[in-house]
Structures are given as structure tokens and as C-alpha cells.
Structure 1
């Protein structure tokens, strides 16, 4: 339970470790006043932390002053738990009598909450193909479902990878970014990862790399 004026309970708070940009925290408010808090980090970052999970989580938080301030009066009412190796994909998205949707098809990473978008998009795409198939049309699940779905998933993947290798964070925290670029990138994170009119969708890795290099050079 959290009582903290700086914490906007209408929003999910994502915090980043001040020394290790690949370590991040989520703070997800619940309506009854409680909050889900957690940390995501590679196994290497846990080596110097306490074995006790509650102490481990608080050690990470204590190293992040802004988040520590938000949680300074928190009442910790649930034991910490851990899960590893959460990212997963499969060999095929469809087969005889089945099509995989949402996280069953691929789970990327929780940082941008892309799971809901992928679930809704995959369901919509599969429903359209299935409806035509049930009407007696000849359909190709690979070209009409799997390949288009993967295109958007790969767009999300480019920004997830950029988050952890630092290229995307350099863009997010660049103080002089233009409104147009902010809108285009925000659109992707809002779920428009299949809109190839957006250049950051049509060429996500190349565009993100170029933009990161520009930000690193101070915009020149």
C-alpha cells in the first residue's frame, strides 16, 4: 500500500536504475490503494544482492532514489516472488485446426505492455481469416496471418531490444526531441505497430539506430 503525493495513481510508473539503464522497475496502482511493484534485471545484476527476495527487491529500490522516495511510507503486505526466462516464442503460429494468439504466440517483454496489443491484433487477424475459411474460401494462414502478425511483433521487438541496449532510452530521454518524432514513437507504443505509414514502423531498427546516433551527437 502506497501513500505518496508524487505518485500519480492514474498511471503506471516505470523507473530506471540510475547506474544501470538495463534495470527497470514497474509500479502499477490498484483501485483499492495498493500497488504492484517489481524490478526487471539480468541475472548478473542479482549477484551482489541479498538471497532473500524481499530484501533483494528493496535493495534495488534503495539504489534508485526517486522510486525510494515514492515508496518510503509503503506498507509491504505481500512476499516478493521471482520469475525468470519469461520471453518466449514458438516454431509456428498456426497448424491443422489451431492458431496461436497473444502471449501463446509470443511473449516479448513487459516493459511496454505490448501483450494486450498483440493479443487483440492476433485475434482480429485470425478471426478474419477463419471467417473466410468457414465461408468456403481458400486461405493461406502463413501469408494472411503469421507473416503480417510477426511484422508488428518484430516492430515491438526492435524497441524492446533498444530499451535494454540503451539506444531507445537515449531517444526517450533526449531533451530536444521534436513533437513529430514523439508522436510517431508514441503511436507504436500505443499499439499502432502495424501502421507502415509510420517510418519508425516500416524500418524500426534502422530508424531507431539513426535517431539514437543523432541524439548521442547532441542533435547535430
Structure 2
């Protein structure tokens, strides 16, 4: 196998976590190589950003590129159940920081970030698949298969896995473990939405709950070009690929969606359907000897609150700073400096995801008697500020159960 050189850091995956980590490390002065299996632009799910993400993009000099890309402005999240409707304005939140963000076609968004990382000095190689990883005292050895069929080997002082749902290192190093969240799948597509209904706010993601089966929900994410991402999330046992058509299933559920069905009454379904299942994942640990897992490569909860990109960017900035300290010989405590801080926010989101599916959070969202102060605290978490320990629902996420009882009362 050909030897092709040594870098300070190798990053697997050029998605948001990989691009931001690479840009951060380049800013610290390291030689960084990013190995990406696909070619950009390419389709990806996770199209509604959270305002907390903007701070991370600003930190690595990517914000201006995103602002100039022409994405759909987003200032909150709206919720619908039949014809019950409420919304959270992220500009009216408990935590300090960004209150607006964007809804993005990930093909364009991810390429924007990757191109920015490349301009800053990271080297990105597309069409490259990591096939094996080994470690030695000085760092890591990565075996790569190029799309041309050439196999080669690279070395680095540290390895970051930002491969997302590809989960390269969890598979190669046997780090995967079963998620505690239920087995669900998503059916989704892009449409020409043709929405003219004045009740619909394009500046907000719309999350709709099925009026009779509350564990079934839909997303409607409008883009800036008159198109939208539309999907339904179902318990795994409610869809059979052999006997059920994907498009007919999605449209059938939309027809039962109350206000949502009226919003999409003129929509043109002109794009092939996609399915994603088994997406909730977990790992035994997020770091090890000379490697760290970023974003979805480590843990993915659920798409309901669009937390994936925010967690990915948070993990990238935390990991880059900790890798820097390690490469400087400072012997960082990865548990205290990376895993525990990252899991603080993940665990907050987890409580809200669990509360969504067991009904507690839905009772809060659709309650008529929410105080403005409590609504601002919930809005902060929905905006991505799941690491703000000043928020009582971050410092003590179990408060959600008490709040749900009060709202029911």
C-alpha cells in the first residue's frame, strides 16, 4: 500500500462538523487533511438550523459566507395539531445570543462550509473512503481507498470522525451501542410548495402533530426559492416497504394533518422520495487514544428539534480546542473538557425528545396558560441553547415533567 504522507490532523467527512473542525484547527496552525467519501454538492437531511449554530460559524469565520448564500431566514418554530397552533419566536428567548438563523438546502450549505474551510487552508480530498484505522505511540494510521481504486495510507497526530450517519470509526473500532430511543423512520422529499395561505409563516419551521396518533409528526421547512422540505416521522412498524408506496404514504398522512394539509394543497411533489430509518444512535464513548467522534458520528437523537447540526458544530469547536491542547503536549482531560460538556447539551435535548414522544412537551407547547417567562426558557432550548446552565430547564431538565403537569392543570 502506497504511503502518501503525514498531517497533523486527519478529519473524516467534510460535512458541517468536519468542515468547522478543520477550519478551527487550521486557525491553530495545523496541517489538516479532510477525507470525504462523496462529492459536493450532495443531498443531506437536517435542513433547519438553530440560532446557536450561528455563533459557532462566526467563531471560525464562516458566517459571512452563509449570510451571503441567500438561504431562507428563520426566527422560530411553529407547532400545529389539527387546527391548534402556537409558535416560539427565538428572538424572545431566555438565553443571550443569536435569535435568528436559516433554513437551508444542505447540498448548498455543506458545500459553502467545506469551500470556506478549504480557502482557509484545509486540504479536502473527495471520493475517498476510510477502510481501516490503527494507532501507534506517535499518532494514527489511516488506510484509504480512492474512487479510482487506488489504496493508500496516511498518518496523523490525531483523527477526528465527522462522517455523520456513515459512523466510520464507531463501525471500525466497534464503539456502537443501541440507542435508548424508539425505532422510527422518516419518509421525506422536496416539493414546489406553492403555499399562498397567509397563516403560513415562511420564517419558521412548522412541526405538525398527527391529530389522532401523537407519536406521528411532520416537518415542513420552507426554503427561499419557493420550495420546501416535507417529511413524516413514523414508528417503524407503521411502514412496510414491500407493500406500501413511499409517496402515497406521505401524502396520505399529510391529508390527515389538518392545517398542514391545507398549506400543501397545491404542492407539486416533483422529487423522488427518500427514507431514513435506524437513525437514532449512540456509542460507548466519544473519544479514545488519538481519536474523537463529532456530531452524528457519535450520537444522534431525533430530527424533531433540528438539533443535529447544532450538536455537530458544538462538538467540532470543543474537539478542535482540546486537540490543540493535546498536540501542544498539555495532556487535556478529554472526559472533563470534551465528553461531559458536550453531553450536557445532548442530555438536555434528549429529555425534550423523550418528552415530545411521551406527550409531556406536546402538553406544554399546546397549553393556553404558558407564562411568558417559561415560554422564553423553552424557546431558548428550541433555539439550540441547550448548554446555558442559567436556564432552569438545562440545569434541571426534569423540570419538564412538573411543567407538563401544571400545563395540564
The verdict on a shared fold, with TM-score over 0.5 as the criterion, is yes
Partner Cα distance (2:324, 2:239) in 1: 49
2:213 to 20, 45, 48: 20
Once the 2 structures are TM-superposed, how far is the Cα of residue 74 of structure 1 from its aligned partner? 1.0
Once the 2 structures are TM-superposed, how far is the Cα of residue 11 of structure 1 from its aligned partner? 2.5
Partner Cα distance (2:402, 2:204) in 1: 30
1:150 to 326, 343, 364: 343
- How many residue pairs match? The answer is 214
User: Alpha carbon RMSD of aligned pairs, Å?
Assistant: 1.5
Are 1:57 and 1:80, in contact at CA under 8 Å, matched by a contact in 2? no
Partner Cα distance (1:184, 1:154) in 2: 16
**What TM-score comes out, normalization by structure 1 length?**
0.92
Pairing 1:1-220 to 2, within 5 Å after superposition: 1-6=192-197, 7-46=200-239, 51-204=244-397, 206-217=398-409
Partner Cα distance (1:9, 1:176) in 2: 26
Partner Cα distance (1:120, 1:113) in 2: 13
Partner Cα distance (2:313, 2:275) in 1: 27
Unaligned runs of 5+ in 1: none
Partner Cα distance (1:54, 1:159) in 2: 29
Which structure dedicates a bigger proportion of its chain to strand? 2
Once the 2 structures are TM-superposed, how far is the Cα of residue 118 of structure 1 from its aligned partner? 0.7
Partner Cα distance (1:91, 1:199) in 2: 28
Where relative contact order (Cα < 8 A, 6+ residues apart) is larger, the structure is 2
SS at match of 2:389: coil
**What TM-score comes out, normalization by structure 2 length?**
0.51
Partner Cα distance (1:110, 1:193) in 2: 15
Alpha-carbon deviations, 1:72-130, whole Å to 9, x = none? Answer: 11111013222211111111111122111111111111111111211121112112222
SS at match of 1:51: coil
Partner Cα distance (2:245, 2:329) in 1: 59
Once the 2 structures are TM-superposed, how far is the Cα of residue 148 of structure 1 from its aligned partner? 1.6
Partner Cα distance (2:387, 2:204) in 1: 25
**Higher Cα Rg, which structure:** 2
Once the 2 structures are TM-superposed, how far is the Cα of residue 140 of structure 1 from its aligned partner? 1.1
Once the 2 structures are TM-superposed, how far is the Cα of residue 5 of structure 1 from its aligned partner? 2.0
Report runs of 4+ in structure 1 exceeding 4 Å deviation. Answer: none
Structure 1 range deviating more: 131-140 or 89-98: 131-140
Once the 2 structures are TM-superposed, how far is the Cα of residue 161 of structure 1 from its aligned partner? 0.6
Unaligned runs of 5+ in 2: 1-191
Partner Cα distance (1:9, 1:214) in 2: 32
Partner Cα distance (1:109, 1:143) in 2: 25
